[in-house]
Structure 1
Amino acid sequence: MATPEPELSTPKSPQHDAAPSGAGNLHDDYYSESFTANGEQAPLMSDDLEITEKKSLFSFIRTKDFWIVLVLGQALSILNVSDSTFSALLAREGTSIPAFQTFFFYAVLNIIFTSVTISKYGFKRWLHIVRQDGWKYFLFAFCDVQGNYFVILAFRYTTILSAQLINFWAIVVVVTVSYFVLGVRYHYMQILGILVCIGGMGVLMGSDHITGSNGGQATDAVLGDLFALLSATFYGFSNVVEEYFVTKRPVYEVVGQLGFWATFINGIQAYIFDRSSFESATWNGHVATYMVGYTVCLVLFYATVPLVYRLASAAFMNISMLTSNFWGVIIGLHVLHLHVHWMYPIAFLLIILGHFVYYLGQAGLEEARKPWLGHDQEGGVSGLFTARRRLEQANAAQHDDGEEDASLLGRQHS
């Protein structure tokens, strides 16, 4: 019997954020984002396409998506540790210019991704985005810059242990904002997985406290903890906003606008607060190498993190970052001559176990489906790792199968 051809459905809500007006027929070979000629997404072919595989408690283990996002999450964690290591090496050389370091990174991010955006949209359409949506991206960039800025201030005044403890607040902010603003509903296994990961991080911090590697005495613990709390809050908001943006817009546009606005915001802050440090810094070949390494790591991080937001969520990205301490020690064994305490491997395994618990009972496109994009993800961009892209591919496969079966029936009747 031939498979019936699915009916064409109409999007449930108008598309306001998918593309700049008059964007034309966009197709991005870099992150494969596409829009229709009027700036809206083409509707999905089926209004009721659902996950077809049989769901069980461990269904996620058989999905490629889980292993991809697990690896990507740990790659981000390693990149995060790597840029911290380059910062430590710069400090050893007598070059402590955290604000200017970040400025160079944002400038490179702006040059790369804004150039891609202009090449895709054209300069006039890019200006249209800046005029129409620039204030949204400005607020997003402001939160990101302040998250980076205040965490640096926190480590100046408080211990690493205290700052790390308060950074758990970022997970709380992400989960809370996602729940109340974006309509995300967390499965109890997801909450349990987050708690297991936090427990593993607690073991790491306990190990640091036992070995005395918590950063020594705080010069002003209250002020440092306040800065850490502000940093975690800004990071949390920034993560949720970016997850929202990259599911509705092409990645090159979102990251390009982040780099564009952050360059100005961070540049002004660096000039005001870090000018004397820049003038007194040491400049040599080693410093240049470390600066390049720091910038490359952050550019790779910011280019990769949108894919985790699409395939998983901002919450999953943040629990992936909890392994940073472990990877930091592994890198430090060879670079900073640190040593591994016996509790570190236990903590790492607990955090990874939390990742598995987080996905218990899930299957297929579940976390990639974003509630703010509609039932068929009609409000989202069709791009790499988006649920919409895979729904379209599944519909196309169904359509092709239906045509093949109909053709076969036609030949049999003739």
Structure 2
Amino acid sequence: MAVSTTITAEGTAFNIYTDPLDGDRDGNTITATTSEVEAVEAGLHKLEAKGVHWYSYLTTMDFWVVIAVGQVLSLCITASNTFSSFLANAGTNIPAFQTLFNYVLLTLIYLPITLYYIGFRAWLRIVWRNGWKYFILSFLDVEGNYFTVLAYRYTNILSAQLLNFWSIVCVVILSFLLLKVRYKLTQIAGILICCGGMGLLLASDHMTGGNGGPGVDILRGDLFGLLGATLYGVSNVFEEWFVSKRPVYEVLSFLGLFGVLINGVQAAIFDRDSFESATWNGSVAGYLVGYTLALTIFYSLAPIILRMGSAAFFDISLLTANFWGVIIGIHVFGYVIHFLYPIAFVLIIFGLVVYFLAGSMLGDSKKPWLGDNQRDGVAGIGTAKLKALNEARRDGLGVEGASGQV
């Protein structure tokens, strides 16, 4: 599966070795050779040396892709929330069990792909070496899902949505402290503008009484929501770190596999009584299928935005989910839209644009924890490393057969 590539630049020949797994069939990590590092460095220098204006990144295809993927993810979240509402209205309230199918589907899709590329022996080596890291990632993700759902059970929706802002705060703080991310003023301004747009949505809901109201136990619900938002923030940062270093299919296969184990045990313990008293019919089965497909698409696309953008951009992109939820609510539940909703949506999109102002042509795809030349990163879809190699090819540096990783 390896590809040997020769790049000739300014009289210097670079021999590049790329492998779809960042490792051999025995699971041994393949470190970048000196010539490969030099080739990537040449490509990165070419990209960063281009004369750019404050709006240059906005004119690239990468920007529009990351914006579009962010909105698709928001629609997936909206769809999963809608199907959850259908299940609750039908008398089927099994938060842990209903998410189990998502992890099962992720395993069925991505584990065979991983085994096909690296073989079973290499897979076992990865389990031995990095299995505990993937277990932590899955645990954070499963518990983030679980406690967020619990928050909606005990508190009102307005309070739960306000707590979602905390995940953005966690992502920014953790990225700054652990991943050495340094935010530009425009990025901070973009985040604040997006949060302002979300504030308008919440204010509109409060004025119309759509998201307020009493809760069963608001204090307990708020604490669950705060815990869920914290776990989400940590897992998003951890996943960004993972997908920048390893192939996407490997990350998702372990996320699904360990997610099945963790979520399965949790469902058996906490959803047993709810499962027995739940309503089971054809409609409920359809809702579960819709919920699972929406969530699986979400998990499959999330690594793209984490590579091309960042965990912070990922979280603020999802703020538009409330707007899409209202659009669906108008046609499905008969909601009446408030005039602040379109204004808030435009404000959030404007904040996403501002986030990338005065940036480089690489946007957030160049990760500081991978080294200046992205030595520790994978040459996968959306990564700065692959962009550097592609730039060399487009610049006529004699690249033949360059191949990136998923």
TM (norm. structure 2) is 0.90
Instruction: Tell whether 2:8 aligns with 1:5.
Output: no
Instruction: Tell whether 2:264 aligns with 1:267.
Output: yes
How far 1:82 moved relative to its partner?
0.3
SS for the counterpart of 1:183 is: coil
Q: For residues 248-327 of structure 1, what are the structure 2 equivalents within 5 Å?
A: 248-327=245-324
State the alpha-carbon separation in 2 of the partners of residues 61 and 372 from structure 1. Answer: 25
Instruction: Tell whether 2:52 aligns with 1:55.
Output: yes
- Note closer, same or farther for the CA distance 1:294–1:9 as it changes in structure 2 (3 Å cut): same
Q: Which amino acid letter does the alignment assign opposite residue 120 of structure 2? A: F
Instruction: Tell whether 2:328 aligns with 1:331.
Output: yes
How far 1:367 moved relative to its partner?
1.1
Q: Decide whether the 8 Å contact of 1:20 with 1:129 is kept in 2.
A: no
**Partner residue, 1:123:** 120
**Partner residue, 1:137:** 134
State the alpha-carbon separation in 1 of the partners of residues 138 and 397 from structure 2. Answer: 43
Instruction: Tell whether 2:80 aligns with 1:89.
Output: no
Per-residue CA deviation, residues 389-408 of structure 1 (Å, 9 max, x unaligned), is: 111122344463699xxxxx
State the alpha-carbon separation in 2 of the partners of residues 373 and 343 from structure 1. Answer: 42
State the alpha-carbon separation in 2 of the partners of residues 183 and 207 from structure 1. Answer: 37
**Partner residue, 1:32:** none
**Partner residue, 2:184:** 187
Per-residue CA deviation, residues 154-198 of structure 1 (Å, 9 max, x unaligned), is: 001111111111110100111111111011110010000000000
> How many residues are matched?
385
**Partner residue, 2:173:** 176
Q: Which amino acid letter does the alignment assign opposite residue 332 of structure 1? A: G
Instruction: Tell whether 2:10 aligns with 1:19.
Output: no
Contiguous gaps of at least 5 residues in structure 2 = 1-7, 401-406
- Note closer, same or farther for the CA distance 1:6–1:363 as it changes in structure 2 (3 Å cut): farther
**Partner residue, 1:14:** none
**Partner residue, 2:201:** 204
Q: Decide whether the 8 Å contact of 2:57 with 2:363 is kept in 1.
A: no
State the alpha-carbon separation in 2 of the partners of residues 3 and 105 from structure 1. Answer: 47
**Which 10-residue stretch deviates more, 364-373 or 393-402?**
393-402
**Partner residue, 1:39:** 30
Q: Which amino acid letter does the alignment assign opposite residue 335 of structure 1? A: V
TM (norm. structure 1) is 0.88
State the alpha-carbon separation in 2 of the partners of residues 381 and 151 from structure 1. Answer: 32
Q: What's the Cα RMSD here?
A: 2.2
Q: Decide whether the 8 Å contact of 2:77 with 2:298 is kept in 1.
A: yes
Q: Decide whether the 8 Å contact of 2:194 with 2:347 is kept in 1.
A: yes
State the alpha-carbon separation in 2 of the partners of residues 194 and 291 from structure 1. Answer: 34
Q: Which amino acid letter does the alignment assign opposite residue 378 of structure 1? A: R
**Partner residue, 1:113:** 110
State the alpha-carbon separation in 1 of the partners of residues 396 and 78 from structure 2. Answer: 46
State the alpha-carbon separation in 2 of the partners of residues 275 and 188 from structure 1. Answer: 49
Q: Decide whether the 8 Å contact of 1:5 with 1:402 is kept in 2.
A: no
Q: Decide whether the 8 Å contact of 2:204 with 2:341 is kept in 1.
A: yes
How far 1:127 moved relative to its partner?
1.5
Per-residue CA deviation, residues 127-175 of structure 1 (Å, 9 max, x unaligned), is: 1111211100011111001100000110011111111111101001111
Structure number with larger C-alpha Rg = 1
- Note closer, same or farther for the CA distance 1:170–1:92 as it changes in structure 2 (3 Å cut): same
Identical columns (%): 49
Instruction: Tell whether 2:343 aligns with 1:346.
Output: yes
How far 1:5 moved relative to its partner?
3.4
